Amino acid sequence: MAVRPEFLIGGEPARLIPITADSAREQKSVSIILAGLRSVLELRQSLLKSLNVRVGTSATLEAWIEPVFQNEDKKAIKNKDRPDGLLILRTGKREWRALIEAKVNNDTIGEEQVSRYLQQAKTHKLDAVITITNQFAALPTHHPVKLPKTATKSVALFHWSWAFIRTQCQLLLKNDGVEDEDQVFILSEILRYLESDRSGISHFDQMNAEWKDVVNKVKSNATLAKTSDEVQNTIAAWHQEQRDLCLIMSRMTGSDVSLKLKNDHRLDPAKRLKDDADAFCKTPALHCALNIINAAADLEVTADLQRRMIYCSMRLAAPKDKQSTKARVNWLLRQLKKTEPAGFFIRATRPGKAETTYKPLKDPRDSPELLESETSNTAATTLEVVYEVDLAGKFSGRKVFVEELEKAVPHFYQEAGQLLKAWAPPPPKISKTESNPAPQDEDTNS
């Protein structure tokens, strides 16, 4: 039985099987996941690694729910102000401690509440505050709540979505990432709960409330203001959907799929939002790139509001050992023999201002020379496989857009992306004459 730390006057150990009312989903979910972290070594290693916290095999983890600190302000002891959990990681004489605050269903955490917990953590010399909700973030360091940088000067602020936690459980089980059989059983039961409707866990299933108006404004060529709520909320929703796409593809491929972000966007989510809003107002399209381990290229996704189209694509450098565009296209087509051609296109790009050629996949299969340029003799240096989805009027539907996008990306990867291999130059060879050199004259050697 865990002994409550001296700095706490209240709180119970997290339980894998909490005895709570059926309506207390939040309390139940927090207790289960914190007890899971304490019970399954690989799960706590995986989740805490995302916060850059290393967990050695000799480290111990304590998990408490609804902790109450010594000398706590009476106002903060009220249930509505009490944090949901506390993690204490002990490595030798060192301790790393984090407050946990979670929400389920559509509940979110506001700026005032996060600020309060950060202050509480600072007062009690804790290292971090971790929030867990159904909101998505590109990285655990990108928090859904906007706070001034000074707020996190002495206490780190992190965010996990419930879907991210669920995906980590799925990947560990799918890839045999847990050694101990009893821990495999525990993790399977945790995942079973997280996948049930009763857990209150959901994925991102619709764009922001202003989505339809924004799409219609783009269609009518109306001006968009980059600082307006409609644009800011659209970009924020798109950022959440990008993360959901990564988690969906991670679960489907059984490997970690991540967003490709510029370094300054990785370090500063506010700059990422500002830059993306600015780019969107100049060219009304939403972009992202997914990095899939060992894939031939990044999987690029574009939602074009002007054309009301979704594009998925992967771009490969054309093989340099083949001289003509036709030969280079044939190299690509051999990789796409099993691809169902509907909706797929090939784009051949040449350097400088030379013509780019674009044809449906079914056409060059019969006549690869169709991707030759009529205005340039330069061979294509880049070949791109593109999948198009024309949503027309359905594009403005908040739910339909997300549903179609989440069908298109896996379909593209299954039909084409996973079949592609990047070209690599052949290794140098030793000629037969060099491998059997003629014997040298003894006099010469002497």
pLDDT at 446 over 80: no
Q: Is the distance from CB of 96 to CB of 66 less than 8 angstroms? A: no
* Amino acid 151: pLDDT: 86
Question: What end-to-end distance do the CA atoms of the chain give, in Å?
Answer: 85
Backbone angles phi and psi of 139, in degrees to 5: -140, 155
With cut-offs at 50, 70 and 90, classify the pLDDT of residue 157. very high
For the stretch 254-312, pLDDT in tens is 999 999 999 999 989 889 999 999 999 999 999 999 999 999 999 999 999 999 999 99
* 192-222 confidence digits (pLDDT tens): 999 998 888 888 899 999 999 999 999 999 9
Residue 405 has pLDDT above 50, yes or no: yes
Contacts of 444 (CB under 8 A, 6+ apart): none
> What is the predicted pLDDT for the residue at 77?
53
The model carries a pTM of 0.84
pLDDT at position 19: 86
Question: Residues of 258-284 as b/e, b for ≥16 C-beta within 10 angstroms?
Answer: bbebeeebbebbeebbbbbbeebbeeb
Residue 1 has pLDDT above 80, yes or no: no
Phi-psi region of 221 (alpha: psi -120 to 50; beta: other; left: phi over 0): left
Structural domain boundaries in the chain: 8-199, 211-419
Average pLDDT over residues 223-229: 93
Mean pLDDT along residues 303-328: 96
**What percent of the chain shows pLDDT beyond 70?**
94
- CB atoms closer than 10 angstroms to residue 57: 6
Which phi and psi angles does 311 have, rounded to 5°?
-120, 135
pLDDT score, position 434: 60
Give the CA dihedral 213, 218, 224, 227, nearest 10 degrees: 60
Beta strands 94-102; 128-133: pairing state: parallel
Residue of higher predicted confidence among 169 and 441: 169
Residues 40-89: pLDDT tens digits?
999 999 999 999 999 999 999 999 999 988 876 655 555 456 899 999 99
Position 436 confidence tier, pLDDT thresholds 50, 70, 90: low
Q: Which helix (H) or strand (E) holds 330?
A: helix 325-335
> Span 390-409, mean pLDDT?
97
User: Under a CB-based contact definition with an 8 Å cutoff, are residues 239 and 233 in contact?
Assistant: no
pLDDT for 389 beyond 90: yes
* CA dist 343 → 316, 322, 335, 362 (Å): 19, 27, 17, 10
Mean pLDDT of all residues in 356-366: 95
Torsion over CA of 113, 119, 121 and 126, rounded to 10 degrees? 140
Identify the H or E element spanning 444: helix 442-445
Q: How far apart are the C-alpha atoms of 366 and 369, rounded to whole Å?
A: 9
Residue 418 pLDDT level (bands cut at 50, 70, 90) = very high
* pLDDT computed for residue 79 by the predictor: 47
User: Which tens digit of pLDDT belongs to each residue from 102-122?
Assistant: 999 989 999 999 999 999 999
What is the pLDDT averaged over residues 342-346? 97
